[in-house]
Chain A
Amino acid sequence: MPRRPNSSPQTRELLVAMLRKPRTWHYGYELSRDTGLSSGTLYPLLMRLSEQGLLESRWQEPERAGKPPRHVYRLTSEGQALAKTVHALRKPAAVRTNAVEATT
């Protein structure tokens, strides 16, 4: 059976980290620290999510002179929707059960 796309724990971790501040632009290094993912894992994920239209990226001018511009990332609306789904699935079963009971 083929694996569902974007279902790996690392992808979930990244999406959830970005969902905490959904409208903020994130640096790669900052995301690496927040998620604990190494650069070798993080960047292939960013590339893939960006190609799927779940992330948008742009170059940001440096805050201090003499530094190169940095690439920043944030979730698109589709990315946020996916991140919310992933976040909901990631919650412990008991919490989800209560949430379901509360809505009924």
Chain B
Amino acid sequence: MTSHPSLPRRLATALMEHAAWVFPSTRDHWAKAMQHELPEIERDREALAWAGGCLYASYVERGRAVAVFLTGEVLMPVQRWKQIRSMALLASAVLVPAFLWGGRRVFVTPGAQQVFQEDASFAAALAALLLFLAAAVVGVPAVLFALNDRTFHRAARAGSVCAGILIPYMTALVTVALLTPRTIVSIGDSYCWDSWCMGIQRVSAAPQGENVLYTAEVRIFSDHSKASRVPTERARSFFDVHDDRGRIFPLLQSASFVGADVILNRGESVKSSLIFLAPANARELYLLGHDGGPPWVYLAIGSDLAPFHRRTLLRIL
């Protein structure tokens, strides 16, 4: 008949096994050396304390191994990092003035019933989607699996391949965003995000005390060559009204706004209205889209939602 080990003894055994797993592979025999002392310790509490100490030692050794790896793989090529830093400084020196210059330039549409497209093309959105999928499905799991296997060299290689693709892409994304002037869509013109478009046709104002109740009549339509779904429901929550001082005025619920998404053929449109209240002293008012969609929308070169990209404004006043 065999007696079951006590709880502290079982815990000590489990801790020792974990400690042996944590130990760097180059020190496997030391992990075994510590583990093989455990059966010689008669008192369970002492065995538990022993295992706790071994666990501590295993993490210390693992930390040292990681530190040695980092010193060798990351910190040693200082010259390369210095070059990268110099290039980053040079790029910043060019991009900051470019950003300031781009901020001064504003593209105002003529207001002659024209339709303007977001700068991001279908190809840019597809590239961003593929990049996002590659990072999510291949890059990150490869690094995580390598880390789990404690093969840090492989993890570093996978990480550097990912960085080698992502860094130039993100640089291009930010550069395009910084250099693109803001678009202001005049009343009468329309603007297309992805495949759906909206234009302000007319704005009426009704004073209400110190405020003014604005009603913007809008036309929503599809830019697709075939019949397609237009997210009119999303359009309502997509916008906020901003004034020239940066104040934000939410849209009021509008009974006349299209309540659900609609399927529209090319050339078809739905008319609706956006209603909001703003102070009478607001001189300029704009509609601004404030949220996007899937993550790759934020990563598409030329997208309105890309980092540092100046958002397109639809002029109301």
Contact = CB atoms under 8 A, between A and B. Distances in A.
A44 B27 CA distance: 11
A19 to B, nearest CB: 21
If over half of A's interface residues share one DSSP class (helix, strand or loop), that class is named, otherwise mixed; here it is helix
B36 interface: yes
Contacts of A42: 53
Given A29-B41, A44-B60, A47-B27, A38 B36 contact: no
B53 A39 contact: yes
B210 interface: no
B36 A70 contact: yes
A91 interface: no
A27 B49 CA distance: 17
Contact of B32 (A40, A46, A47, A71): A71
A10 B18 CA distance: 26
Contacts of A57: 33
Given A44-B60, A47-B27, A67 B39 contact: yes
Interface in A31-88: 32, 38-44, 46-47, 57, 67-71
B57 A44 contact: yes
Contacts of B52: 40
B54 interface: yes
Contacts of B34: 28, 39, 43
Contacts of B33: 28, 43, 57, 70-71
A55 to B, nearest CB: 12
A40 B39 contact: no
A68 B13 CA distance: 14
Q: Name B's interface SS.
A: helix
Contacts of A46: 30
A27 B53 contact: no
B105 interface: no
A32 B52 CA distance: 14
Given A29-B41, A44-B60, A47-B27, A39 B54 contact: yes
Nearest to A37: B53
A70 B40 contact: yes
B53 A40 contact: yes
A2 B187 CA distance: 73
A43 B30 contact: yes
Given A29-B41, A38-B49, A71-B29, A44 B61 contact: yes
A69 B29 CA distance: 11
Contacts of A44: 57, 60-61
B57 A40 contact: yes
B108 to A, nearest CB: 67
A71 B29 CA distance: 9
15 contacts: A28-B33, A28-B34, A29-B50, A32-B50, A38-B49, A38-B53, A39-B49, A39-B51, A47-B30, A47-B61, A68-B32, A68-B35, A70-B36, A70-B40, A71-B29
Interface of B: 27, 29-30, 32-37, 39-41, 49-57, 60-61
Interface of A: 27-29, 32, 38-44, 46-47, 57, 67-71
Given A39-B49, A42-B53, A70-B40, 7 more contacts: A27-B37, A29-B40, A29-B41, A39-B53, A43-B33, A44-B60, A71-B32
